[in-house]
Chains A and B, each alone.
Chain A
Amino acid sequence: MSQVSAAQLLAEHQAALQNYLGARCRDGDLAAELLQEVAARLVFALPRLSLNGNARGYLFRIAASVWHDHLRRELVRRRSAAHMRAEPAALAPAADAGLLDRELQDAVRRAIDTLPPVQRDVVELRQGQGLTFQQIADRLGRPLGTVLTQMRAALARIGAELESYR
Chain B
Amino acid sequence: MNHPHPDELLLFASGELIEPRMSELVTHVTVCGACRHELAQLDQSLVALGGGWPRRSRRIARSAVWGGVALAAAAALAVVFIRQPNESQPARTGWTPTTTWSATAGYVAGGQALADIDAQLTRLEQEPHYARP
**Residues from chain B with Cβ under 8 Å of A32 in the complex:** none
Q: Does A8 contact B (CB under 8 A)?
A: no
Chain B residue total in the interface (Cβ 8 A): 47
Name the distance in Å between A28's Cβ and chain B's nearest Cβ.
12
- The A interface, classified by DSSP as helix, strand, loop or mixed, is helix
**Residues from chain B with Cβ under 8 Å of A96 in the complex:** 133
Q: Does A9 contact B (CB under 8 A)?
A: no
CB nearest to B44 among chain A residues: A159
Name the distance in Å between A122's Cβ and chain B's nearest Cβ.
11
Q: How far is the CA of A43 from the CA of B13 in the complex (A)?
A: 23
Contact of B48 among A40, A61, A100, A108 (CB under 8 A): A108
- The B interface, classified by DSSP as helix, strand, loop or mixed, is helix
Q: How far is the CA of A36 from the CA of B124 in the complex (A)?
A: 10
Query: Contact between A61 and B14 (Cβ–Cβ < 8 Å)?
Result: yes
Q: Which of B18, B49, B110 has the most CB of A within 10 A?
A: B49
Query: Contact between B19 and A108 (Cβ–Cβ < 8 Å)?
Result: no
* Contacts A44-B113, A74-B129, A132-B16 given; does A155 touch B47 at CB 8 Å: no
Query: Contact between A108 and B43 (Cβ–Cβ < 8 Å)?
Result: no
Query: Contact between A40 and B117 (Cβ–Cβ < 8 Å)?
Result: yes
Chain A residue total in the interface (Cβ 8 A): 69
Query: Contact between B41 and A159 (Cβ–Cβ < 8 Å)?
Result: yes
Q: Encode contact with B along A153-166: 1 for CB under 8 Å, 0 otherwise.
A: 00110110010011
**Residues from chain A with Cβ under 8 Å of B48 in the complex:** 75, 104, 107-108, 158-159, 162, 165
Contact of B50 among A43, A57, A68, A79 (CB under 8 A): A68
**Given A72-B51, A76-B51, A100-B133, 9 other A-B residues pairs in contact with their CB atoms under 8 A:** A40-B121, A60-B22, A65-B15, A75-B47, A96-B133, A134-B16, A145-B7, A148-B10, A159-B44
24 A-B contacts (beta carbon < 8 Å): A20-B26, A24-B39, A24-B43, A43-B113, A44-B113, A56-B19, A57-B15, A60-B22, A64-B15, A67-B43, A71-B47, A72-B51, A77-B133, A94-B133, A97-B133, A104-B51, A107-B48, A108-B48, A108-B52, A128-B57, A149-B7, A155-B49, A159-B44, A159-B45
- Ranked 8 nearest A-B pairs via Cβ: A108-B52, A80-B133, A64-B15, A60-B15, A155-B45, A148-B7, A159-B45, A61-B15
